Amino acid sequence: MKNKGKLLEFLTLFAMTIGSVVGAGVYFKNKEILFDTRNPIIAIILWIIVGSVCVSMVYLFLEIASSTKNGGSGTIGVWTKLFINRKVGSFFAILNAFFYLPVMQSMFISFFITFILMMFSTVQLKGIHFLLIFLTTGIAIIIINALINVFDLSISRKYQAFGTIFKFIPLAIALIAGVVLFDQNGAFLSGGINITNPTGGTSKVEWSTNNFNPLLFFRGFGGILFAFDGFIFICNSQRKAKYKDVVPKALIFGMIFVSVFYTLIAVSLLMGSPDGSIGALLEKLFNGGKVLSSSDSSTLSRVANILTSVIIIIICSIGANNLSYVSFVVIESDVIDKLYLTSQKNISAKRIAIIQVSVATAIYSTFILVGTLATVGLTNTATVEQAVSSTNGLIYPIQIIATSNACLSFIMIITLIIGALFNRKTNKVEVEKKKGFVVLGSIAACCLVLFVTMSLFTILVPLDVINKNNNNSNWFTSNYYQGPLFILLTLLELGSVFIFWCIQEKRRKKYDLENPEIQIIAKPTV
């Protein structure tokens, strides 16, 4: 009976690891990674490298997460509070709950609307119309998800359970389809693809399997880090495990599976998809093996476009709901753990939802407005395909900041790992010490510093600026002001976090944390 119980717990944790980590990254970032590296082979190598490092990080976080086994929520803010100090923990908690999670939610919502519009790719609208469509629909989705969290969190849990199964169906299809549909139109052999831009022109993004410029090896980390950052949510699972000895094995084997699965999916997509994306591969599959063109009005092409869009729309709705749910729970947990104070003695679930909706709406609206002004403009006319392109359309700024936020997430992870390494000397925090932690932690921290640095550099300096081989080599205007927008939006984000953090620190000086206690009215959902 004991062996059966261990096996069941192993399989449960193994499945949970896969379900938690596999998500948006492989759906939306493989194309970005190909465009950054300009070599399918380099893209695959980077998937393997980052996956290997992330496997080691799961092992490292088993020790870090053991610090809260006797109390406290397993959030990055709480762990930082323990291993570094309360002030840094509070800053990370604010950054995570009020910017990282809303930005990620904004990305899913923007893709949700994008793929609805892509079913009408040839329709022409003015920029102001695109802006209104994205704002009204997006804000409505934010509010609906928040209402679900307030009135019945079980709805979100059930939807996520459905999503965990559903999101693997297109991936399983793509894994086989990419190999079956391998031809000259696949990214491995095509050498590039034509893309439209919001002004109506076209340009070709070129790549080659023979170009092994050393610089290209450092330009694809951002999208891959984005794909793996969900691992942190599983490391606290050992708190409730009955058989503690199976936890490390289950989580590590689960992460190994994810790393191998991601690599195989990347290979398959690059073999069969024209641009390395799962959307283009599914369209090609449903279109009888032919690359789908927006100008193709045949019935088969229309069906292929609609089927693909519906699948991605469901995936996006799952992601948006998940981020809303996680954001709600994280805010609730951080209030309980006193990482930030509220203006009232008691804070209700409704108030958390109001805060969540306000922050998410402000962030989403800002990115959509900036994206519209920087690309289509308010008065210019463009087709749907031109306006909402993920490579240069109005949702591009959200993509940039989502990738950079993944980097910020890993900066927090690096800080935690360094704090845990110092803890081995100071023994400030009681943890379950893992064999080889110091060596693995040192290697992982160094690798992550390199990954994050090069990811931020890739966003800050587009490849056209480095190559200087076309008219788009001016840093300020390159890729629709990518560099300046990245700096502006990142400074705005970090500046807002700092101001909020300063307000919290000032409030702490006025209130005694012990009297009165700040509690959640409803039963904690963590």
The pLDDT tens digits of the residues spanning 228-268 come to: 877 766 665 555 566 666 777 888 888 899 999 999 999 99
The 8-class DSSP code of residue 231 comes to: G
Task: List beta partners, residue 194.
Answer: 204
pLDDT in tens, 31-50: 889 988 999 999 999 999 99
Sign of CA dihedral 454, 455, 459, 462: positive
pLDDT at 405 over 80: yes
Around Cβ 433, how many Cβ atoms within 10 Å? 12
Tokens of 401: 């900041």
Q: Which token pair is 488?
A: 């502006």
Q: Percent of the chain scored above 90 by pLDDT?
A: 31
- Residue 99 to residues 82, 167, 474, Cα–Cα distance (Å): 22, 25, 30
Query: Distance of alpha carbon 434 from its chain centroid, rounded?
Result: 29
Of 236, 233, 251, the C-alpha closest to 9 is 251
Rounded to whole angstroms, what are the CA distances from 214 to 37, 52, 133, 219, 289? Answer: 10, 20, 43, 10, 35
Q: Which residues contact 193 (CB under 8 A, 6 or more apart)?
A: 187, 204, 205, 274, 275
The answer on pLDDT for 176 being more than 90 is: yes
The 10 Å CB-count burial string (b at 16+, else e) for 127-147 is beebbebbbebbbebbbebbe
Q: What is the token pair recorded at 388?
A: 């909402």
* DSSP notation for 49-114: HHHHHHHHHHHHHHHHHGGGTTSS--SHHHHHHHHT-HHHHHHHHHHIIIIIHHHHHHHHHHHHHH
CA–CA dist 46, 148 (Å, integer): 39
**Stretch 327-353: mean pLDDT, rounded?**
77
pLDDT for the residue numbered 247: 72
Three-state SS at 486: helix
Contacts 24+ apart (CB under 8 A), 433-437: 433/63, 434/59, 434/60, 434/62, 434/63, 434/248, 436/59, 437/59, 437/60, 437/63
Report, at the CATH architecture level, how domain 2-520 is classified.
Up-down Bundle (1.20)
Which residue has tokens 């058989």?
243
Contact 113, 107 (CB under 8 A): no
Instruction: Decide if 342 contacts 518 (C-beta within 8 A).
Output: yes
Residue 380's pLDDT is what? 85
pLDDT class for 510, splitting at 50, 70, 90? Answer: confident
Cα 54 off chain centre by: 15
Q: What would the mean pLDDT of 313-341 be, rounded to a whole number?
A: 84
User: Does position 271 have pLDDT exceeding 70, yes or no?
Assistant: yes
Mutual angle of helices 221-228 and 40-65, in 10-degree steps: 40
**What's the pLDDT score for residue 199?**
63
Burial 44-66 (b: 16+ CB within 10 A, else e): bbbbebbbebbbbbbbbbbbbbb
| 165 contacts: CB under 8 Å, gap ≥ 6 | none
- 53 pLDDT higher than 70: yes
CA-to-CA distance for 378 and 380, rounded, in angstroms?
Answer: 6
**What single-letter DSSP state applies at residue 343?**
S
Give the best-scoring range by mean pLDDT among 15-24, 61-70, 121-130, 286-295: 121-130
- Output the pLDDT for position 268: 95
Cα 522 → chain centroid = 29
Q: What's the rounded Cα separation, in Å, for the pair 60 and 292?
A: 45
